[in-house]
Structure 1
Amino acid sequence: MKLFGKNHIIISIITFVILFLMNYIGNNQPDKIQSALMIAFAGVIGLTIGLFILKKGKDDKTPPPDFD
């Protein structure tokens, strides 16, 4: 998957919406919108970093010899 391509943007939006709704609906604290927004943004950033690492290691022709 191309980083910041069409598919990445769609998956990021879906991830943001799911994480936001899970945290907003299930939270009874007075600052539930701020908490839900921070968790949703952190989830999207984590997804982007994970895809970046996956894409970087995908085309590696010389993996480490003693990986395990």
Structure 2
Amino acid sequence: MNPVLYDLRGLKCPLPVIKTRKKLAAMASGTLIRVDTTDPLAVIDMPHFCNEDGHELVETEKTESGHRFLIRKR
């Protein structure tokens, strides 16, 4: 199953987490989402958000302009 791509580049904290939480709420359990961010705090915020909400952070990747997160909805 291919992940849903979600481009949140250019948004500052806390918007990437807020928008990811809202997007995941509308998705089926087990769905993968790949989130692209440029917010430097996202590398701290996204893992914390996943841990808090029970989602699986499958992968974190440093990109040229920020970070990319692969998340599986619980």
TM-score, normalised via structure 2 length:
0.25
More strand as a share of residues: 2
TM-score, normalised via structure 1 length:
0.27
More helix as a share of residues: 1
